Amino acid sequence: MLKTKRVAVRKRSKLRSLPKPLITYEDMYGHEMCERERNVVLPLVREGYEESLMASKPSIEDALEEASENCFYGPVPVDSVSNASAREVLYDWNLPSLMIIFHSGDLDSARHYLVESLHNPFAPHAVATLVIHEDMVKDFMERVVARMHALDPKIAQHPLFVRSLARLRNINARIFTADPNRVPVELSPIVVLDATHNYMNDGPTGVITLHTYRTPEEASQLYLMEPVKYNSVSVWDEDTASSYEVATLIDCDNLFVNCANVNLDAMQEAFEEGRDEMRLVNGYHLETLTILGKRRKLAFPVGAIII
């Protein structure tokens, strides 16, 4: 009996000495991953443009109050919202990305990149526009909303983001925000359904616009509604071959299939010289090719299969 107890104590001692796992259950399925500290990026001020205060300093209280009526979680009190002024500054997009999601795509990975963009909307390669099938919106956005947390104050209080919020009162669109029981509406990331960026600002807005499609052809054309010049497009679809078709329809040089923000520098020389070339780099298939006279750089995980 005594021997058994000693063995049990020894086992418990070993368990206590195990190192802390690098990735925990909460990291994968909880909110902790989104709440980790990150270095947020502020929007790019257009070169040579001098900042000047606007003649009027609009309050955002009324804008938020009206916007909350269309909020995913319903009306939200805005008593804590303070007046804020917007500066009349011109800003440039910072290599924005277009995301297109199909039914068979890796939704968890796509959602991860989208949530990252929501909380760091002015960062290079952040998603500016999401295109998704109309019958996927409810379930997909419920999961996105569940992972939203408060924006960094440098983002939430930036005049550009404040201006976007103020102009939401003019948009008759559905707005997705974090649960107001967890995050005050004035600090929440924003996804706007069926509205374009130029309704909110001339340049980056700090929010993500969402458009729905019914057919693949429609999915590849919805981006034309936006005033944004996308630096890259990420297509989330199990059928990798269909992404080549998307490459011919969308006016964008950089195409990511079931991935995002992959470094394409290794293909730049071949791209500029007009050579078709393929390489395997860090687990990704990188390719430069010409499709119907259009030059493209393409990347997808090595495990993906072209059907």
* Average pLDDT over all residues of the chain: 78
Identify the band that residue 65 occupies on the pLDDT scale cut at 50, 70 and 90.
low
CA pair distance 226, 13, nearest whole angstrom:
60
Question: In the predicted model, what is the mean pLDDT of residues 265-271?
Answer: 96
pLDDT score, position 62: 52
pLDDT top residue among 10 and 277: 277
Domains of the chain plus CATH, in order, are: 59-76+94-230 (3.40.309.10)
Question: In the predicted model, what is the mean pLDDT of residues 169-185?
Answer: 85
Percentage of the chain exceeding pLDDT 90:
50
pLDDT score, position 293: 85
Q: Is 296's pLDDT higher than 70?
A: yes
pLDDT top residue among 84 and 157: 157
pLDDT score, position 127: 98
pTM: 0.77
Identify the band that residue 179 occupies on the pLDDT scale cut at 50, 70 and 90.
very high
Q: Is 28's pLDDT higher than 50?
A: no
Q: Is 199's pLDDT higher than 50?
A: yes
Q: Is 33's pLDDT higher than 70?
A: no
The model's pLDDT over 218-264, given as tens digits with 9 standing for 90+, comes to 988 899 999 999 999 999 998 877 777 777 788 899 999 999 999 99
pLDDT top residue among 20 and 132: 132
The model's pLDDT over 253-265, given as tens digits with 9 standing for 90+, comes to 999 999 999 999 9
pLDDT top residue among 90 and 261: 261
pLDDT score, position 20: 38
pLDDT score, position 30: 40
